[in-house]
Amino acid sequence: MTAYDAPVGIVGAGPVGLALALRLASLGVASVILEQDPQLRKQGSKACLIQGDVLEVLDKFGCADPVAEEGVTWTVGHTYVRGEVIRSQVYERPIGYGPFVNISQYRIEQLLSEQAERHPLISLRWGHTVEAVEQGEAGVFVGVRTATGRSRVQVRYLAACDGVRSALRELVGVAWTGYTHKDRFLITDIRAELPLARERHFHYDAPFNPGRQLVMHPQPDNVWRIDWQLPPDADIAVEQRDGRLDQRIRAVIGDVPYEIDWWSTYRFHQRVVDRFRVGRVFFAGDAAHALPPYGSRGMNSGIQDADNLAWKFAAVLAGDSEERLLDSYHDERHAAAQENLRVTEATIRFMIPPSRLRRWSRRVLLALAPRVESVRGKVNSGRMAEPYVYRESPLVTDAASHPLAGAFAPDGYLLRPSGEQSPGQRDGQGQQHGSQARCRLRRLFGQEFVVLHFPVAQDPALFAKATAHLPARVWPVLAVETDGTGHGTVVDQDGAVHAAYGATGPCWFLIRPDGHIAATGPADDPARAAERLATALATASATAAARPTG
């Protein structure tokens, strides 16, 4: 019998690698993380925003609340032209976490690495540089160099989460398609008390950066992240020595005390690997796709990569699915990366027009935007991150007949019997209502597949019949609009959950461990849910471990 160091190896202890390890651990899967740095390095804000739906991923392993409590939650993004506000976009997310929380990537890495180092299913190995990868029928051999010598680590599967400069891409031989933009940008994290709303501020052609862009994001502890598009001849190291960097900053913030916490220059990438899976090696995060920061799609999509990959690893390792389920990781996350590239490419083409005609068009739009309301929506300051809808996935059925198929499942508040726990239930059920507790629907997801039933009226016999075709690993939830009792029953008092799912008649929804809807169907066809589960798990049959009706 092969002796593995862990079922899953992870290269890179950034936010994506750490999230993958913690998500796997929440599903009972052990992993080993190989990180070349000898310890966590402070690198400033880098990625500085986490989207509300992505916080739901962190919530599955207990890290969302610390991030949300420490970060800066904002709901309005302002777009300016020549110093004048032309649009204030309001983002609403009434349930759960706020739409966006600003916090530095470094702080997220701190929080995740602290939890990973405490977890018995995670071995976090600092100072381990991967030099070789050898795949076999039963697993992957990883050649590692440390300060004391060389060794080999053996795992069943390997996840490359080693960032935009990924060594694994070359070792495994995947194409890194796309381009790197020639323009340079400056990130400066400054600590100052500014008379600005703690929201997103995006400037075109501002007096303090004429002809170019600038965006400001508030961070915790009175830190503001400022991103400049730089002129071609800018040398920030020289500017810091001769005082011009101070002038650059003061042109933005005025005559207030400040200190520089961190700065860096960069060129952004528009790139993606051609294959997210190569045998037993899987690419995630910036190792798989690199994006400009406008819209904050990089780290957010990387953590969604981790969530997608984790439940599939867990299903295959537990024997609940065949290995071909892992092929769907490329199908789903490569499509998500391509969508992100399309969105960010549109933003970049507006920010930095590639042709004379586009430059003329942008000048006209920016000139008209302060005066003509109908033009303002065409000023592209970045479309913010959001979960991808897997409508084309081989695991998702009913996409043609229902708009929610493949989407991130809607949330809502429900009442459930006090003390009853589902496989996905996290702590904090909420306010008590007599013998029932208020809970969020999404907090029932995460560990197992969930079948959410919407009956016309509570009918225990019908519910038992509907769930009889499902294997024991599927958690059934019956959502009723009036008081109900019984295992798995929740009450949708105001009908908001029924409305969010469009449940005007008796129906069910099959929800994956990553919270995406795999299928839907009518309540009078209970066998269909089991068939759809087989598709969602890429198995030949989902009825072998059916739950008994008695």
| pLDDT average, residue stretch 498-510 | 91
Q: Is residue 312 a contact partner of residue 381, using CB atoms and an 8 Å limit?
A: no
> Whole-prediction pTM value?
0.93
Q: Is residue 229 a contact partner of residue 209, using CB atoms and an 8 Å limit?
A: yes
Q: Write out the two tokens for 428.
A: 């904090």
Q: Given this model, what pLDDT does residue 486 score?
A: 58
Q: Given this model, what pLDDT does residue 489 score?
A: 80
Cα–Cα dist 82/481, whole Å = 52
Percent of the chain past pLDDT 70, that is, above it, reads 90
Cα–Cα dist 230/3, whole Å = 53
Cα–Cα dist 277/95, whole Å = 35
The answer for residues whose C-beta is within 8 angstroms of residue 468's C-beta and 6 or more apart is 526, 546, 547, 548, 549
Q: Given this model, what pLDDT does residue 294 score?
A: 87
Q: Among all chains, which residue has been given the structure tokens 């962190």?
A: 58
For the chain, give the number of residues.
Answer: 550
Angle of the 460-467 helix axis to the 526-536 helix axis, nearest 10: 40
Cα–Cα dist 248/250, whole Å = 6
Q: Is residue 291 a contact partner of residue 74, using CB atoms and an 8 Å limit?
A: no
Cα–Cα dist 367/375, whole Å = 10
Half-sphere exposure of 147 (CA within 13 A, CB side): 8
Q: Given this model, what pLDDT does residue 546 score?
A: 40
The pLDDT tens digits for 138-164 are: 999 999 999 999 999 999 999 999 999
Cα–Cα dist 141/137, whole Å = 11
Cα–Cα dist 471/547, whole Å = 6
The answer for residues whose C-beta is within 8 angstroms of residue 356's C-beta and 6 or more apart is none
Q: Is residue 449 a contact partner of residue 513, using CB atoms and an 8 Å limit?
A: yes
Instruction: With a cut of 60, say whether residue 429 has pLDDT above it.
Output: no
Q: Given this model, what pLDDT does residue 479 score?
A: 82
Q: Side chain identity at 311, as an amino acid letter?
A: W
Radius of gyration for the chain, computed over Cα atoms and rounded to the nearest angstrom: 25
Q: Is residue 405 a contact partner of residue 396, using CB atoms and an 8 Å limit?
A: yes
| pLDDT average, residue stretch 227-242 | 93
DSSP-assigned states of every residue in 171-238: HHT--EEEEE-S--EEEEEEE---SS-SSEEEEEEETTEEEEEEEEEEETTTEEEEEEEPPTT--HHH
Measure the N-to-C terminal CA separation of the chain; round to a whole number of Å.
40
Cα–Cα dist 535/362, whole Å = 47
The pLDDT tens digits for 185-203 are: 999 999 999 999 999 999 9
The answer for residues whose C-beta is within 8 angstroms of residue 412's C-beta and 6 or more apart is 95, 440, 441, 492, 496, 497, 500
Three-class SS of residue 458?
coil
Q: Given this model, what pLDDT does residue 426 score?
A: 52
The helix (H) or strand (E) run that includes residue 113 is helix 105-118
Domains of the chain in sequence order: 6-72+99-178+270-351 (3.50.50.60), 185-266 (3.30.70), 413-536 (3.40.30.10)
Average pLDDT value over all residues in the chain: 90
Q: Is residue 468 a contact partner of residue 461, using CB atoms and an 8 Å limit?
A: no
The pLDDT tens digits for 270-288 are: 999 999 999 999 999 999 9
Q: Give the lowest-confidence range in 31-45, 82-96, 337-351, 481-495.
A: 481-495
Cα–Cα dist 550/546, whole Å = 12
CA distances from 323 to 62, 221, 315, 394 (A): 29, 46, 9, 14
Instruction: With a cut of 90, say whether residue 527 has pLDDT above it.
Output: no
Q: Side chain identity at 425, as an amino acid letter?
A: Q
Instruction: With a cut of 60, say whether residue 544 has pLDDT above it.
Output: no
- 466 falls in which pLDDT band (50, 70, 90)? low
The answer for residues whose C-beta is within 8 angstroms of residue 328's C-beta and 6 or more apart is 312, 393, 394, 395, 538
Q: Write out the two tokens for 148.
A: 């004391």
Q: Among all chains, which residue has been given the structure tokens 């405490």?
A: 118
Cα–Cα dist 173/275, whole Å = 10
Q: Is residue 67 a contact partner of residue 313, using CB atoms and an 8 Å limit?
A: no
Q: Give the lowest-confidence range in 364-378, 394-408, 471-485.
A: 471-485
Cα–Cα dist 150/520, whole Å = 52
Q: Give the lowest-confidence range in 171-180, 296-305, 376-385, 452-461.
A: 452-461
Three-class SS of residue 307?
helix
Cα–Cα dist 178/342, whole Å = 12
Q: Give the lowest-confidence range in 187-201, 322-336, 530-544.
A: 530-544
CA distances from 107 to 57, 112, 440, 544 (A): 17, 9, 27, 45
| pLDDT average, residue stretch 164-172 | 97
